[in-house]
């Protein structure tokens, strides 16, 4: 059986796959109800990356106006990614107790609250405590949505899995592009960075209200976790795939956190820098659409894993070191490489496992370790910038990270199974 045929049925990994009794589909009222659910899930995806890209779009203004110390900048760009790994294992536990729909609803409520808290100023303490609290709340909420959304899509749209999977993953990429592209114009129009950040609470609140009636009418059924199957933590292949995920996450979230500040430090104005990041993320979307189809045509993915990893690391380094006359080319190369890299890293879940249970557990391992350890990328960029006063050291860092990603991608791409 080819890798392509083997991977197609498991496009979305189900976080509820170990539930006993098995999680039932969402209770809906006919085809209109199913369409309504589809719209809600896509809109949830459209809110899952604005937190990262909106903050970086106005980082110089926030730092100047709020008097952010260096440690706060580093923490605010690192914490939300770290929490993606910390809270990922909690999502299936909460879903068994309350149901995936209610947990998604609660996550959107926490996300909305976090976006409202983030730009607030507490009397006598300034903006730093609110920024930290709001950002942490957003990171926790996004972690829950990251884990549960694929399973809900798989459970409720088994006959439209390719379409719905593509739509919601595209929505997630689009959310990063929207945050990067529109935050600075809102700041320019209002004159306040707080307004530019508060703006992103509006779409989150709209989705919360739209999803509320659907989620609250779902029956509450407690589930237990069944155990058994492959122990992915003892598999060398699983660790190779996870290392590949860690290294791509280090670069991916560093793009969201630091690409706009890098471009602005190179002399690009805020509006143009936001547009460049948006275009780079749109190219990520193109890469994420085409790379998995190419990767799954073969049993062995060593070549594509190596190429996209080197494209990403090289694109990041060239965005820092390359001639500014070609800055659009460098950021475009970075975007196309990063989108392809993220997509093929996730595709490894499918092509390196033989069954859905193993795929689900490998996905949990990759998300927990990948996002938790991958957040060190944004941390190291921030620390290097604080220590050297520029981003040159970060450019060298990503040449190293890209090379390591190519190495582990080559290892993970071999035709072997967890």
Q: Are 20 and 365 in contact (CB under 8 A)?
A: no
- Dist CA 240 CA 59 (whole Å): 35
Residue 327 sits at the vertex; the CA angle it makes with 322 and 333, to the nearest 5 degrees, is 90
Backbone angles phi, psi at 19, to 5 degrees: -70, 140
Whether 191 has a pLDDT exceeding 90, the answer reads yes
State the pLDDT confidence band at 155, using cuts at 50, 70 and 90.
Answer: confident
Least confident range from 7-16, 162-171, 215-224, 288-297: namely: 7-16
Q: Which two tokens stand for residue 258?
A: 């630091």
Mean pLDDT of all residues in 367-379: 89
pLDDT at 363: 82
User: What's the pLDDT tens digit per position in 256-288?
Assistant: 899 999 999 999 999 999 999 999 999 998 888
At 398, is the pLDDT very low, low, confident or very high (cuts 50, 70, 90)?
A: very high
Rounded CA-CA distance 368/349 in Å is: 14
Cβ–Cβ under 8 Å, residues 260 and 274: yes
Write the pLDDT tens digit of every residue in 31-90.
888 899 999 999 999 999 999 999 999 999 999 999 899 899 999 999 899 998 889 888
Which residues, at least 6 apart from 124, have a Cβ–Cβ distance to it below 8 Å? none
The dihedrals phi and psi of 175, each to the nearest 5 degrees, come to -65, -40
Phi-psi region of 98 (alpha: psi -120 to 50; beta: other; left: phi over 0): alpha
The gap between the terminal CA atoms of the chain, to the nearest Å, is 17
Kindly tell me the number of DSSP H helices and DSSP E strands found in the chain. 18, 2
Q: What is the pLDDT of residue 10?
A: 37
Q: Which of 276, 252, 221, 275 shows the shortest CA–CA distance to 371? A: 252
Task: Give the span between the Cα atoms of 240 and 210, in whole angstroms.
Answer: 41
Q: What is the pTM of this model?
A: 0.86
DSSP states along 131-195:
HHHHHHHHHHHHHHHHHHHHHHHHHH-TTSHHHHHHHHHHHHHHHHHHHHHHHHHHHHHHS-HHH
Asked if 114 and 136 touch (Cβ cutoff 8 Å), the reply is yes
């Amino acid at each position: 059986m080819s890798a392509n045929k083997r991977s197609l049925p498991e496009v979305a990994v189900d976080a509820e796959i170990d539930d006993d009794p098995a999680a039932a589909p969402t209770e809906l009222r006919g085809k209109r109800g199913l369409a309504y659910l589809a719209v809600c899930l896509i809109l949830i995806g459209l809110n899952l990356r604005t937190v990262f890209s909106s903050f970086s779009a106005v980082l110089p203004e926030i730092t100047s106006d709020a008097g952010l110390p260096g440690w706060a900048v580093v923490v605010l760009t690192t914490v939300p990614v770290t929490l993606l790994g910390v809270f990922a294992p909690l999502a299936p536990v909460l879903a068994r107790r309350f149901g995936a729909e209610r947990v998604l609803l609660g996550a959107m409520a926490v996300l909305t609250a976090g976006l409202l808290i983030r730009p607030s100023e507490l009397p006598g303490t300034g903006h730093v405590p609110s920024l930290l609290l709001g950002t942490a709340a957003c990171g926790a909420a996004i972690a829950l949505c990251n884990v549960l959304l694929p399973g809900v899509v798989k459970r409720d749209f088994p006959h439209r899995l390719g379409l719905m999977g593509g739509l919601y993953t595209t929505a997630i990429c689009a959310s990063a592009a929207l945050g990067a592209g529109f935050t600075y114009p809102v700041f320019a129009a209002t004159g306040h960075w707080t307004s530019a950040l508060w703006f992103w609470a509006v779409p989150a609140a709209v989705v919360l209200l739209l999803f509320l009636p659907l989620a609250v009418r779902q029956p509450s059924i407690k589930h237990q976790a069944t155990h058994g199957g492959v122990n992915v933590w003892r598999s060398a292949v699983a660790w190779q795939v996870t290392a590949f995920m860690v290294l791509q996450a280090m670069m991916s979230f560093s793009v969201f956190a630091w690409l706009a500040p890098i471009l602005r430090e190179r002399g690009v104005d805020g509006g143009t820098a936001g547009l460049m990041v948006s275009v780079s993320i749109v190219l990520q979307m193109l890469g994420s659409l085409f790379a998995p189809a190419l990767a799954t045509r073969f049993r062995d993915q060593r070549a594509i894993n190596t190429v996209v990893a080197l494209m990403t690391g090289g694109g990041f380094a060239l965005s820092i070191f390359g001639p500014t006359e070609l800055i659009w080319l460098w950021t475009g190369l970075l975007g196309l490489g990063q989108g392809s890299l993220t997509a093929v890293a996730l595709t490894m879940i499918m092509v390196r496992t033989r069954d859905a249970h193993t795929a689900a557990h490998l996905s949990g391992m990759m998300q927990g370790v990948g996002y938790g350890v991958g957040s060190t990328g944004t941390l190291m960029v921030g620390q290097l910038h604080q220590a050297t006063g520029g981003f040159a050291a970060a450019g060298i860092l990503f040449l190293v990270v890209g090379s390591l990603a190519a190495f582990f991608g080559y290892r993970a791409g071999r035709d072997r199974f967890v």
